[in-house]
Amino acid sequence: MDRLIVTGGARLSGRVRAAGSKNAVLPIMAAALLADGEVVLRNVPDLRDVATLALILEQLGVVIHRDGDVLRLRADREGPCEAPYDLVSTMRASVCVLGPLVARRGHAQVSMPGGCVFGVRPVDQHLKGLNALGAGIRVEGGYLLSDVGRRLHGAHVFVGTRFGPSVLATANTLMAAVLAEGTTRLENAAMEPEVLELTDALIAMGARIHGRGGHTLEIEGVACLHGAEITIGGDRIEAGTFLVGGAMTGGDVTVDGIDPGHLTALRETLGAMGAKVTSGSDWMRAEGPARLEATDIATLPFPGFPTDLQAQVMTAMSVARGISVVTERIFPDRFMHVAELLRLGALIRKEGPQAIVEGAARLSGATVMASDLRASAALVLAGLVAEGETEIRRVYHIDRGYERIDARIRDLGGQVRREAQPRLEQSRKQW
């Protein structure tokens, strides 16, 4: 397992291009299971999660060719229908092969994804949506099983909990509904940009979906979908991570290849903290002051503040002037980064779904452990403002969702190097 060594003190400055969006490309890859014909995806990021889902799809009989950032996928109507535990358990998003499998093949055997480092990750809303369409999914031996053996039917379904929408449950239900007989009215649909990208990809494949980008989607089922060529949009969360890095190091970072409309909540937050944020049609720029000011955030469904940028902004708060309050309303346990930030000298007190962050004059380097991929990226940012060296272990978490993060941070003037796991640890493991 690699580790990253970050040396503090540099300002991040310069331009970087956002890679293709991880959370858009994953469900769209799964959607290829629905099409009679080749689906060509462009601007596909080079991520572990993409490789993992490709492995799962190949086990489902999908023929996949990768050529640089182009992925070609072709899936027959017949084929294997089992997505195994050893792969699904490493990446929760693989649960979104469930809807396409049931819709196109009438059968599915998909391992339940299990939890992750920030708590229980239920799939009840996925089952509610798919079973409303007649999927007849049952849970047995840790697997989600369906042997419906016939075409699904349209339904009127409210997907997502009473506390808010579910991104992947929306994706799963939407992908199943496009091939169902009749019309489906999907209420409480998630409005995240990644769901809109999936909607547009399905429309390009011949699906009939009305209300794109809204909370209510009307889907007229069709008998089959055809192939299509789709370009994946820039990753708003990766972009936001670099922008936070620029703002908190007193730097000046511009990220190209994104839709600034996807980052309005971050723009408001960084502006409230004293950064100067400007943007154009496909770029956003953050110029940091000598020291940021404290502010408060609460994570919410889009267009509210994204939970996937919570750890990164908390890291910026940990060296800002004043006291900030972070409220996590999507995943109340998503605070794995707090313990690691404390090791760097941050002054943070967790109170249930809230964290109180008192801005420290400085952080000091230490060895820390990566956990969920966004928390891990936040530790890289923390290392940039900590005195001395910060060693981040279990870097594979970061590689799941960030393309060559060390090289890209170096391109912006940050001091980061990647090293293989120390020999001592290897010998201990052999013993």
**Would you tell me which residues interact with ligand EPZ (CB under 6 A)?**
22-23, 26, 92-93, 121-126, 161, 166-169, 190, 192, 194, 307-308, 330-331, 373-374, 401
Query: What is residue 18's DSSP assignment?
Result: P
Task: Closer to ligand EPZ by CB, 123 or 385: give it.
Answer: 123
Task: Closer to ligand EPZ by CB, 121 or 151: give it.
Answer: 121
CA torsion angle 419 424 427 429 (round to 10): -80
- C-beta of 235: minimal distance to ligand EPZ in Å? 9
- C-beta of 42: minimal distance to ligand EPZ in Å? 20
Say which residues have a Cβ less than 8 Å from residue 148's Cβ, sequence separation at least 6: 102, 106, 107, 134, 135, 136
- C-beta of 24: minimal distance to ligand EPZ in Å? 8
- C-beta of 425: minimal distance to ligand EPZ in Å? 27
Q: What does the alpha-carbon distance between residue 418 and residue 421 come to, in Å, rounded to a whole number?
A: 10
Stretch (H or E) spanning 240: helix 236-248
Say which residues have a Cβ less than 8 Å from residue 392's Cβ, sequence separation at least 6: 3, 4, 5, 6, 368, 369, 370, 376, 379, 380, 383, 398
Q: What does the alpha-carbon distance between residue 243 and residue 247 come to, in Å, rounded to a whole number?
A: 6
- C-beta of 415: minimal distance to ligand EPZ in Å? 25
- C-beta of 196: minimal distance to ligand EPZ in Å? 13
Q: What does the alpha-carbon distance between residue 16 and residue 20 come to, in Å, rounded to a whole number?
A: 13
- C-beta of 153: minimal distance to ligand EPZ in Å? 21
Q: What does the alpha-carbon distance between residue 193 and residue 197 come to, in Å, rounded to a whole number?
A: 6
Point out the catalytic residue in the list 81, 96, 116, 224. 116
Task: Closer to ligand EPZ by CB, 21 or 206: give it.
Answer: 21
Task: Closer to ligand EPZ by CB, 249 or 312: give it.
Answer: 312
Q: What does the alpha-carbon distance between residue 49 and residue 47 come to, in Å, rounded to a whole number?
A: 5
Task: Closer to ligand EPZ by CB, 122 or 136: give it.
Answer: 122
- 29 is written with which tokens? 């890859």
Task: Closer to ligand EPZ by CB, 190 or 207: give it.
Answer: 190
- C-beta of 127: minimal distance to ligand EPZ in Å? 7
Task: Closer to ligand EPZ by CB, 101 or 292: give it.
Answer: 101
Q: Bridge partners of 210? A: 218
Full DSSP string of 393-419: E-THHHHHHSTTHHHHHHHTT-EEEEE
Distances (CA, A) of 59 to 52, 110, 124, 164, 205: 11, 12, 25, 33, 23
Q: Is 116 a catalytic residue?
A: yes
Task: Closer to ligand EPZ by CB, 292 or 377: give it.
Answer: 377
HSE, CB side, 13 Å, CA atoms: give it for residue 319. 29
- 272 is written with which tokens? 């409230």
388-421 core/surface letters (b: 16 or more CB in 10 A; e: else): ebbbbbebebbbbbbbebbebbeebbbbbebeee
Task: Closer to ligand EPZ by CB, 26 or 148: give it.
Answer: 26
Full DSSP string of 296-309: EEEB-STTSB-GGG
Amino acid in position 420: A
Amino acid in position 174: L
Residue whose token pair is 């099409």: 35
Q: Are 189 and 233 in contact (CB under 8 A)?
A: no
- C-beta of 190: minimal distance to ligand EPZ in Å? 6
Residues annotated as catalytic (active site), given as ranges: 116
